[in-house]
Chain A
Amino acid sequence: MAASVSHPALSSLYKINCNINGISGLISFSRKISVSSVLSTSAVTAKREAAGKGVRGQMKSRRPAGEPRAERMAVDQDWTAVYPTAASFKPSAVPLPVRMGYPVNRGVPPAKHGNLELIKIPNFLHLTPVAIKKHCEALKPFLTEWPSALDSAEKCTEHFPIQVQSKDFVSSGMSLRNPDARIVTLKVKLSSLNLDDHARKKMIKLAEKRYCKETDTLTIITDSCPLRQQNYDYAMYLLTVLYHESWKSEAWEEEKTRADMEEYEWQDSPSQRNILETLKGIRGTEETQELLDQPEVQEYRNSVTQMKNHGETEENLLRYKEAVKKLLQL
């Protein structure tokens, strides 16, 4: 069985043996178990000799590997010298006993030596805090000082409300250029602009999706021009135009209907009319202004406004119910 399994291997070995040693005794191999052991030892010698014969030149210069560099590292060594740039994981150069990979049955993750998983993943061994400090020191001659008056984020946003962002790309390839570098994002909070009520509502209507209600930020992203400088100028121009246009009032803006309103206004709404009619019906004649000034009516107004602006929920509805009950004296 052993002989039959290793039959193709045997035949190749046989050929090698015949070629190299010219041993004809091996031609007749009997199907005995001892044959395999004999053959295996002869296989080893055959392989060594075969390798030696084929690539003898390279084998000569190969020295046995010395101890790994990690053994000889001091604790306070300069790590930036070991990993000055981004490089793949070298198990002999990293003195950490790292294990990575899926553990075999009832085993542990494989060790770092010859671990492909560790080599595949990107590492940041070249970006330790010490290395980054060195980078900063190297960059310092090219920088100016940060203004001392701007020591908090609030002060920065107060003095510089407009934030302009753009991306720079570094790559080595056929061309250094990246078309995404022309995109300019301009962010500004509307609260920092000088807008009155009408101007603010008009600006939000003009800006449509570019305005975020939660953060009160207007974001303008421009990418229609080929150069970053041009896109930046265009973004500033858009901001200027929006600002000035929202301050102007056109003649057709007078025709703004209830449906165009952004939020619900209780004054002159059907709700107000209804409640006044009902109250007049119940209490007889009373001045409209007096009725409106009463606290119950104020409460009713608040509950209705909240329901319409913030959507109807159970609590809103209960508040409304209480207000109505108080008004109608139930």
Chain B
Amino acid sequence: MNLHKLSLRLRPAVTQKFRCLSIQSSGQELEAVAAETPSVEPNLLSVFRTSEQDPTCHSETHSGQYYTLPPTHIQKLFPHGLPPRFQMQVRTFNEGCVMVRPAALELISYLKKADYSKPPLRYILYGETGSGKSLSLCHTLHYCYTQGWLILHVPDAHLWVKNCKEMLPSTYNPSRFDQPVQATQWLKSFKITNEHFLSKIKTTRRYVWTKRESTEEGRPLGELVDQGVNRMKSSSDVVGAVLRELRLQAGAATEGEEVFKLAVAVDGVNALWGNTTLKKEDRTMCEPEELTLIHNLRKMMKTDWRGGAILTALSQTGSLFKPRSAYLPSELLGEDGFDQMEPFVPVCVSGYNEKEFESCYLYYLDRNWLQHPHSRSEEGKKELIFLSNRNPSILERLCAFL
């Protein structure tokens, strides 16, 4: 009921913004129009919102301000990629606003400086639970998308090591296990995100799926992906094949097509080296190495290819058998994971600082999310600071009650 009233109240404000946004995404000459919007509404708006929608141009000056993700981009880039609570927020507020934060800015600066003829560099976002690692990763991915990279996004690797109802022994390698449901889901998202690449990239060798089905050499990648989506049984192997193709072709120019850059983004990368809760038929625990999807993803983490970057974020929330207070890389990755991910650039994501907290608070006020009269006062703000300890996710959950 409340949400309904909220959306009614928001609709007039939102339609105005939407108009600006739709103009925005079509061309640069209308940036002037966008620049008008801050001046139309009171100064308060410009404090926590930035008109700069292109992540390429985000810099320190925009730190702490919200920028809007164009809805077309959200649909294409993040069909399942955004953290669930953020997705709910996007649906409620009818817009996806992401805060520009120093961690993401740092990552983007590294990406700008890196040399893409060399092997990829590994970046690990770490921080306490709820400090904004997944969203910073999404922000960076948006930058990669606007730059025209090929995005390989695994929203949460933990989903692949637990709660899998169906597990089939792999056809390719009998000692490994397939997860058809997860593989098909991922392939569908991959298809939506990278539509325009699928016809350009060609396979380099022949893949035989069953006696009657095979994919010839030189066929577009789209066909491979369709094969996986339609035939669930071989979908995990298709994932492996897709990853292999991308690895081989990322840095190299192929037959007159321009070089594309590959962004491998894995959230919850510590799942690749942790424990699983999946059991084999003889009731023994499955090692992550024995799952095809994990095995193939681990190969992507190695730096034996060129022309891209590996962006990862740790996550304690979904991790199995790890203490709640663990957030440093070696704690969550374990010895094995640390050895394999080395050398990496650790990027720390901390809670909100004062300015960022201000922006978040003003944003919620602007969206009329804080209904309680006390929350609009100074004292209420101090209470919020105290209760949430400036942790973004806790603040979001608190405000949901208000």
Contact = CB atoms under 8 A, between A and B. Distances in A.
A126 to B, nearest CB: 56
Contacts of B402: none
Contacts of A327: 343
Given A330-B110, A330-B113, A321 B343 contact: no
A300 B343 CA distance: 9
B300 to A, nearest CB: 16
Interface string B317-342: 00000000000111100000001101
Main secondary structure of the interface of A (DSSP, over half): helix
B119 A274 contact: no
B118 A324 contact: no
A312 interface: yes
Contacts of B346: 317, 320-321, 324
B2 to A, nearest CB: 41
Contact of B342 (A275, A281, A321, A325): A275
Contacts of B126: 317
A277 interface: yes
Nearest to A327: B343
Contacts of B114: 330
A324 B343 contact: yes
B121 interface: yes
B68 interface: no
B345 interface: yes
A317 B329 contact: yes
Main secondary structure of the interface of B (DSSP, over half): mixed
Given A277-B303, A312-B330, A317-B329, A282 B119 contact: yes
B344 interface: yes
A330 B110 CA distance: 6
Interface string A276-319: 01100110000000000000000010001001100011100100
Given A270-B339, A324-B343, A278 B119 contact: yes
B344 A324 contact: yes
Given A274-B343, A320-B346, A330-B345, A312 B328 contact: yes
Interface in B88-112: 110
A134 B126 CA distance: 70
A128 B217 CA distance: 102
Interface residues of B, number: 22
Contact of B329 (A275, A277, A281, A312): A312
B343 A278 contact: yes
Nearest to A323: B343
B220 to A, nearest CB: 30
A281 B345 contact: no
Given A271-B342, A312-B331, A317-B346, A328 B121 contact: yes
A178 B237 CA distance: 77
A325 B109 CA distance: 13
Contacts of B113: 330
Contacts of B303: 277-278, 281
Contacts of A269: 339
Nearest to A321: B346
B339 A274 contact: yes
A319 to B, nearest CB: 11
A287 to B, nearest CB: 19
Contact of B118 (A275, A281, A304): A281
Contacts of B344: 324
Interface string B112-130: 0111001101000010000
Nearest to B344: A324
A278 to B, nearest CB: 6
Contact of A282 (B110, B118, B328): B118
Nearest to A270: B339
Given A278-B303, A282-B118, A282-B119, A328 B343 contact: yes
Nearest to B113: A330
B330 A307 contact: yes
A280 to B, nearest CB: 9
B119 A281 contact: yes
A281 B118 CA distance: 7
Contacts of A277: 303
A80 B172 CA distance: 97
B331 A271 contact: no
Given A270-B339, A312-B331, A317-B329, A324 B345 contact: yes
Interface in A78-124: none
A111 B121 CA distance: 82
Given A277-B303, A278-B119, A270 B331 contact: no
Pick the most buried of A275, A312, A313: most chain B CB atoms within 10 A of its CB: A312
Interface in B338-358: 339-340, 342-348
Contacts of A317: 126, 328-329, 346, 348
Pick the most buried of B114, B330, B331, B340: most chain A CB atoms within 10 A of its CB: B330
Interface string A247-288: 000000000000000000000011100110110011000000
A314 to B, nearest CB: 8
Contact of A328 (B328, B330, B340, B345): B345
Contact of A325 (B119, B329, B331, B345): B345
Nearest first, the 3 A-B pairs at minimum CB distance are A270-B339, A281-B119, A312-B330
26 contacts: A269-B339, A270-B340, A271-B339, A271-B343, A274-B339, A274-B342, A274-B343, A277-B303, A281-B118, A281-B119, A281-B303, A282-B115, A282-B118, A300-B343, A312-B329, A312-B330, A317-B126, A317-B328, A317-B346, A317-B348, A321-B346, A321-B347, A324-B345, A324-B346, A328-B343, A330-B110
